[in-house]
Homo-oligomer: A and B are copies of this chain.
């Protein structure tokens, strides 16, 4: 039974960059499940009509169609209970880390890299992306990321809760990674795939954690085209 994951990509279908799709991609690898990546682009709404949804990730697992990354993680734990757990039977406990990632981490990263995204998109997606994001920000994407090197210290300071949570532990999940790690790591993969900007100082504990995450599953994340 083939598992298919619809993932946002750039012109290159291997260049998957959505932070939410990365959560599902890492979750599937954590479960040891092989999957077929189905490239999807912003303007391919029609391709998701079968799921009655307009965003990725979308997981198709046999007869089941699951949308939203968190629900995909819950589905994987329920459908494959013998494989290593993602949410350890306590899904609610992972919502706060998701809320922090969505509001603090993603907003911080977007403000540093959003102007790098159009270059990785094909023509139709680029027009859609630039128009929709410039409308959201009320300024050009170049203006959003202007002076980004000067804002790196503030971004790095905003990671204090993450740094603090990693004290004395290799992963947010403890000795081994779990869905909390994948939730946060998705943001860093988004930045890594679309932008040359180095978000982290080399001596930051968050940097060491990111290296460990890049090494997981035979270096799956590290091997993704940038």
Residues of chain A having any CB pair with chain B under 8 Å: 87-90, 92-100, 102-104, 160-162, 164-165, 169, 172-174, 178, 180
**Secondary structure type dominating chain A contacts:** helix
A165 and B95: CB pair below 8 A? yes
A89 and B89: CB pair below 8 A? yes
User: In the complex, what distance in Å separates the CA atom of A178 from the CA atom of B91?
Assistant: 12
B99 and A93: CB pair below 8 A? no
Minimum CB–CB distance from A120 to chain B (whole Å) comes to 28
A99 and B178: CB pair below 8 A? no
Minimum CB–CB distance from A106 to chain B (whole Å) comes to 11
Smallest Cβ-Cβ distance to A97: which chain B residue: B96
- Starting from the known contacts A90-B93, A93-B173, A103-B161, 12 additional A-B residue pairs (CB-CB under 8 Å) come to A92-B172, A93-B97, A93-B178, A96-B161, A96-B162, A96-B172, A97-B97, A99-B162, A100-B100, A100-B165, A103-B164, A104-B161
Instruction: Give how many copies assemble into the complex.
Output: 2
Find chain B residues with CB under 8 A from A89 CB. Answer: 88-90
Find chain B residues with CB under 8 A from A172 CB. Answer: 92, 95-96
Find chain B residues with CB under 8 A from A160 CB. Answer: 103-104
Minimum CB–CB distance from A109 to chain B (whole Å) comes to 15
A93 and B180: CB pair below 8 A? yes
In the complex, the 9 A-B pairs of residues with the closest C-beta atoms, listed nearest first: A99-B165, A93-B93, A88-B90, A90-B90, A99-B164, A100-B161, A92-B174, A99-B161, A96-B165
A93 and B88: CB pair below 8 A? yes
Query: Could you jot down 19 A-B contacts, CB within 8 Å?
Result: A90-B93, A92-B172, A92-B173, A92-B174, A92-B180, A93-B94, A93-B173, A93-B180, A95-B165, A96-B97, A96-B161, A96-B162, A96-B172, A96-B180, A98-B165, A99-B161, A99-B162, A99-B165, A100-B165
User: In the complex, what distance in Å separates the CA atom of A180 from the CA atom of B100?
Assistant: 14
Find chain B residues with CB under 8 A from A164 CB. Answer: 99, 102-103
Find chain B residues with CB under 8 A from A102 CB. Answer: 164
Find chain B residues with CB under 8 A from A162 CB. Answer: 96, 99
